[in-house]
Structure 1
Amino acid sequence: MPLLRSKKNTGRDAEKRAAKWLTGQGLSIVERNFHCRQGEIDLILLDQETLVFTEVRWRKHQSYGGALASVDQHKQRRLINAAQHFLARHPEHHHRPCRFDVLGMEPDSQQAVLYQWIQNAFYSE
């Protein structure tokens, strides 16, 4: 898969790559691009019995900060609110433990993609 080029498609392409990479790590996809009034969650996956709400971040340059740095408190709050909304809509997942991950992606010097997977990147209060 060629590296991401078009700004318009960058987010969509990054999320496709992320989904493929995470399923390769043993997770299974529950939902992609969950939208609600409270926010959006890029990927919702299962890691065994744990429901994983994942924010995907493509970084063209490290000079702008890493993936975790780009998910500030405001973004975390929106993700938490969206996750609560997802759980309200999907009671079949109420029994599952949940976590919030961030998957950072960036090109390396050979134009391959480097992945930085931060599990339990932040917690709901």
Structure 2
Amino acid sequence: MREFNLFNKRQVGQQFEALAERYLSEQGLIPVTRNFHCRGGEIDLIMREGNCWIFVEVKYRKQARYGSAVEAVTWQKQQKLKRAAFYWLSKQGLSAEHTAFRFDIVAIQGSDHHIEWLTNTLVEG
């Protein structure tokens, strides 16, 4: 039974990633890849805006009972996202020091699927 629930959760996640990708595309971003996995972590969406690479974490929460979708992106999750993004950049032959990139969050909340897009969310310090 547990595997079935995990499978359903993955399917639901993919549906909301597709919704987020459509939303960002409507805002002018260009989709590059979805669900990039590496040992260090995972990136839900990689998009591009001009010469800037955008690494997107997509979070959905039906209810805010255990916190909002934005609150679900913890510091630990941000670190995994950062590691995966640096790895992806290096695989493309790009240097993190000489490449424009940022980290965004697309939070989808409630049964009405309200979308909140937060840009440049990962700031060192």
Q: TM-score range by the shorter chain?
A: 0.7 to 0.9
TM-score (norm 2): 0.84
CA separation of 1:23/1:65 partners in 2, compared to 1, >3 Å: closer, same or farther? same
User: Which portions of structure 1, spanning 4 or more consecutive aligned residues, are displaced by more than 2 angstroms?
Assistant: 92-96
Tell me the distance in 2 between the aligned counterparts of 1:122 and 1:40. Answer: 15
* Partner deviation per Cα, 1:42-93 (whole Å, 9 max, x = no partner): 0000122211000000111022222221111111110000001001100257
> Which residue is 1:7 aligned to?
9
1:100 to 100, 103, 121: 103
Q: Identical aligned pairs, as a percentage?
A: 36
Tell me the distance in 1 between the aligned counterparts of 2:104 and 2:94. Answer: 21
What is the RMSD computed on CA atoms of the aligned residues?
1.8
Q: CA deviation at 1:124?
A: 4.9
Give structure 1 stretches of 5+ with no counterpart. Answer: 1-5
Aligned residues: 117
Secondary structure in structure 2 of the residue aligned to 1:62? coil
Give structure 2 stretches of 5+ with no counterpart. Answer: 1-7
> Which residue is 1:3 aligned to?
none
TM-score (norm 1): 0.84
